[in-house]
Every structure is written in C-alpha cells, then in structure tokens.
A and B are shown apart, each in its own frame.
Chain A
C-alpha cells in the first residue's frame, strides 16, 4: 500500500463528493445550496491541487490540469457569492444562484475527470 496514494485519493474523491453535494438541489433555489458547503469544496479542492504539485509524470500533469480547472470555477463561484451579498448587495437572487450553481457544476465535471484518471491509472498499473 502506498500512503501517498491514499492521501491523494482521499482528497480527490472528497472534493468530488462535496462538489456533488453542493450542486444537488433545485438550481435556482438558494435554500438548497449552502454557503458552507461551497467553502468546504473550495478548501478541499485547493488542498487536492497542492498535493498534485510536483508529480512529473504525464498523468500527474493531467491531474493537475483538471484540478486547476475546478479551482478556477469554484473560486469564480465563491467570488460571485461574495459580490452579490456584500459588495453589490443584491443578495442571493434566483439569477445569482443559478450562475453560481452552473460554475460549480463545471467544476464538478473537472472533478469527475480527475477521479476517472486516478481510477484508470490505478487499474492499469495495478500496483
């Protein structure tokens, strides 16, 4: 068993599952999407990205790329939330909620790709 792989896998799968949790629900209904969950997804995703830094193999590069995509979309979603509530002050209207959830949905796809790559690499090398 490779301890590094366990930590890797833990964070990658955790960020995917949290992401799914946030996106689930009626997409324009602010009651169905918790800001704390979004916070959790952003943090776990950033940790996962940090863990992927340094891997010089081809697959490592691909994993890092998907992780960066997820980061960008989640940070954009978080920024939009902050702007709506604190800076512009419109609050979370259904339009804002829809936009935030679609960004998080994009990040979800990137996270799914990450997990697929991770699983298939493990299956191929069977180490």
Chain B
C-alpha cells in the first residue's frame, strides 16, 4: 500500500520538527516543578508546608499557559513567589516557542504538500470501487469528471494548477472526487492517485501539454501494464509514440474527431443528429438534421483544424479557399491560398459573395467571432462553422448563431467519456456507418424508434455487466440451466406485454459484438450490454436484473412463489 509510505513520511517530519521544542518544554517544566517542590512554603499549624509534586505540576500547568488561577492550594511563601516569577517568564517563553514551531511546521509549503498527498492517497484508497485517474482538470477534465459522476462512476484528479484543485473541491459532485495539486507525470503522484490499485480502470492524460501527456502515459504503462490509457494528442509524432506503448491505449485527437463528424454531417446528416443527441449536445434533437451545403467554402485559419476540415471538404468535392497569416507549409489540394488575416478585403478576394460555407478555425476566439460577423455582413446565406477555444466564451458563441460550433475541449471530453462509460458504442456506430446495403434504412429505423421511446427526455447510455455482483438474479437463472433472453429483461415489470423506454444497441458475448440483437438473443454470464434509454427505464431494468421474482415474472408471466409455506403447499397439493 502506497499510503503507509506517505504516512511514515509525514509522521517523521512532525516528530523531527517537534523534537527540540518538546525536549526544551520538558526540561523547563521539570526544573520548575523541582524548584517549587523543594522551596519551603509558609508555616501552617506550626509546620512548614511544602508543595506536592502533583500540586507543583498543577501550578505550572496554569502558569505556563498564562491561565493564572492564583496560589493554590495555599498562599505561597515569598521564597516560592520568587521562584514562581522565574518559572512564569521562562515557561511562557518556552510555550510560545513550542507553539510557534508547530505553527511554522504547518505553514511550511513542503509539509503542507506532504499532508495533502497523504490525504489524497488515503481518500483514493477508500474509494473501493472502479475509478479513473484524470490528469488535468481544465475545460476537458471538468466536463469529463462531471460526466463520469453523472454516470455514477468514480474519478480522482491530479492537476498542476492549485486553483483548479481548489475549484474541484467546491463542486457539488454526487460522490467525492479526490484532487491533488501536483505534476501528474511524476511517478510518485501517479502512485498516490492509485495507478497500481486493483480498482484503477484507466489513466486519462488530458493536460494541455503534449509532452506531459506522453510522459504520463509512458509512466502509467510502466507502473501498471494492465491499466487502460486514454490521452489527448493533436500532434502526429506524439500519436505514433503513444500507439506503440502497448496494452490498451486510446488516443483522442479532437481535430480528427471533428473531421470525422464533419464528414458524417455532409454524407449522413441522420448519423450526425444521432451522435449529437446521444452525447447530449445542447439543443440537439432527432428531428432536425444539419445539411452543410456543397459549393465554395472559405477556411479562415489553416492550423490543425483547418487542415483536417479542408481534407474532408475536398474529399467530398468541395472547392476551398484558405485565408491564413502564415505562408503555405506544403503542397495541399487548396484551390486558393491567401496569405493575410481574415478581413473584408481578403474575404472578398477569396470569393465570399459566391461561397456557401465559412469555417472560422483560428485558435483565437476573438478572431473567430469577428470573422463570423465580417463574413455575414458580406454574405447573408453562409453556412457557418466556428471553432470555440475557451469554455468561458460560451455565451458569446451561443449568441453568434453559427450552424455548427466546434469546441476542441468538449469534443475530446465527450469522446473520452463515451469510451469510458459506453465502450461498446463504437461497434454500434461502425456497424451503422458500414457501406453495406440497408444500413441507411436501419439508421432511420433506429432514430425513429428512439424518437418514439425517449422523445424529448434526456437519453442515457448505460452499460450493463452480466456478472454475479451486478446482475445476481440473471446469473442465478443461468446457473439453474435456464435461458434469459434480452426480450425478457427489457420488458416492463409493470406490464410485461410492453417494453421499457429503451433500445438495446449492442451486446458483447464471448468477445463477439452483436449489434441491435434480437429479443430472442440468449444472455450468457460475462456478457456486456449497451442500451440507450430514459433514467426511469434504467432504474427499472437494473432492479429487474437483481430481483429474481421480477425476472421470473418477466420470463414466464407467472408469479414465483416466494414463501416457504406457499412453495410447500404448491408442491404438496398441485402435483398430487
């Protein structure tokens, strides 16, 4: 256990720092008490009175702490009073010195860090359920942690910025999310975050520095060969290194993801609508499809996003014009390349009057918004896509009324969230998008049923594990040699003739994924199932999986006898 190391370190620091103050205090006390005991007191009833050791200690206790109850248990002699003066000054000064040492220790930055690390490691150990380590708590990290928390999963956070960790502690999460202010690429801190803990499922490296992400991934892989690694990268060189780390590694490139989404949007608007609706995009519905027009497009800002978008657009037969302050880096399939910043002059030169679409893809929000306004004044009917770099500018972008807003942090967070809470979803999407006959019809059918079942309610993606702990009733049935069908568990316990408001997307049986499985599909132990449904349907389904009586009713339509007496009665009298 890593925490025992930390604990001994902290207690060692406390002991070492307190050694001298404690010894001084002890010496002062013992000399003072010895003096008080041996100095003759007043004469009482003809006998010389002395203070007992207990009374001397009592006197010192209230004197050294400046409480001053007076002369107890009897009026002192002048000799005792003289000694009391000496004791008072010396012991009070010693007390202040000892207290000062403690306060100084607690204000020591190094000590505070050690205590924080210990606390963090202890709270990680206490989780006792599967959790994810999130390295980096910026825009992406906070969306991701919120999403995981809503899905009922645990996360621990490491961030280099102390303010972000303080902000984390003020958020209203359903479960506690331990946070540490530290450099996540230092192996010690990953150990404190529980990278070797049996419950640690994955390390998510999403700091805003590429090289730090790479280092975190490599360190995590070395410390725990089995842990999943998810990381964000926008640079090809890093992506190649990451891919060769071995084990389960997912690299999320927000621009490539966006390019895929843009491509889907052009070729398959229904899929784009479904995707947006599932990830919970604001205002996304299954009714309205977005159709980016095909014609002349202008791309302002030719960075990673501009390049990826240009690639997709030209692939779809769109003629593009690029405006960028930097000179063209390499030969690309760009029809027009204008060097300069985007303004009325350059936009006109790029042919804004005849263009159908505009992509503002600079890494500066102010520039993107002004390009948008500029272009609109020149051509009212433009289809606009704008890149939003900072979450803080949300309100301005919402007012800008662009047809599509691309927020790299949000794209990354959602992609990672889906990988974590619905790992089977990619199989579902891959199946729907495969270039085979009938798939478009199928997609329309999926959207139609989702619209009927969920409608305006919030869709939830839920992954169900058919394991002994999570679906006890199902496994019990299987152990008894009976079959449990998908159709059984998705029926409504209130009326088994109808289904719950959910749609089963994928089931993974014995390493094989079956997309949109039939109701007759037999469930086996260890299977994993992904469905999309309402919160209420999720609740009912999960209770069915663990209630043998409900499950029996759904499977057979008969009520299972629950009490020993009625079971005995049924055996005795119905069979005979």
Identify the A interface with B (CB < 8 A). 2, 4-5, 7-8, 50-58, 60, 125-127
Identify the B interface with A (CB < 8 A). 493-495, 547-550, 553, 559, 561-567
Residues of chain A contacted by B548 (CB below 8 angstroms): 56-57
Find out whether the CB atom of A55 lies under 8 angstroms from the CB atom of B562. Answer: yes
Bound together, the chains give a CA A5 to CA B560 distance in angstroms of 11
Residues of chain A contacted by B563 (CB below 8 angstroms): 4, 8, 50-55
A2-B559, A4-B561 known; A127+B553 contact, CB < 8 A: yes
Find out whether the CB atom of A7 lies under 8 angstroms from the CB atom of B564. Answer: no
B493, B494, B548, B563 interface centre (most CB from chain A within 10 Å): B563
Closest to A5 in B: B559
Bound together, the chains give a CA A23 to CA B154 distance in angstroms of 51
Closest to B566 in A: A4
Bound together, the chains give a CA A71 to CA B358 distance in angstroms of 78
Find out whether the CB atom of A54 lies under 8 angstroms from the CB atom of B494. Answer: no
Closest to A59 in B: B547
Residues of chain B contacted by A7 (CB below 8 angstroms): 566
Find out whether the CB atom of B564 lies under 8 angstroms from the CB atom of A57. Answer: no
Residues of chain B contacted by A50 (CB below 8 angstroms): 563, 565
Bound together, the chains give a CA A57 to CA B566 distance in angstroms of 16
Residues of chain A contacted by B564 (CB below 8 angstroms): 53-54
Closest to A50 in B: B565
B494, B549, B550 interface centre (most CB from chain A within 10 Å): B549
A4-B559, A55-B563, A126-B495 known; 7 new pairs, CB 8 Å cut-off, are A4-B563, A51-B565, A51-B566, A52-B563, A53-B564, A125-B493, A127-B494
Find out whether the CB atom of B565 lies under 8 angstroms from the CB atom of A53. Answer: yes
Find out whether the CB atom of B494 lies under 8 angstroms from the CB atom of A126. Answer: yes
Which of A8, A53, A56, A125 contacts B550 (CB under 8 A)? A125
- Can you offer 25 A-B residue contacts whose CB atoms are under 8 A? A4-B559, A4-B561, A4-B562, A4-B566, A5-B559, A8-B563, A50-B563, A53-B563, A53-B564, A53-B565, A54-B563, A54-B565, A54-B567, A55-B562, A56-B548, A57-B548, A57-B549, A60-B562, A125-B493, A125-B494, A126-B494, A126-B495, A127-B493, A127-B494, A127-B553
Bound together, the chains give a CA A54 to CA B547 distance in angstroms of 14
B495, B548, B565 interface centre (most CB from chain A within 10 Å): B565
Bound together, the chains give a CA A52 to CA B553 distance in angstroms of 19
Bound together, the chains give a CA A44 to CA B144 distance in angstroms of 56
Bound together, the chains give a CA A125 to CA B553 distance in angstroms of 12
Tell me, rounded to whole Å, the shortest Cβ–Cβ distance linking A115 to chain B: 17
Residues of chain A contacted by B495 (CB below 8 angstroms): 126
Bound together, the chains give a CA A53 to CA B565 distance in angstroms of 8
Which of B550, B559, B562 contacts A54 (CB under 8 A)? B562
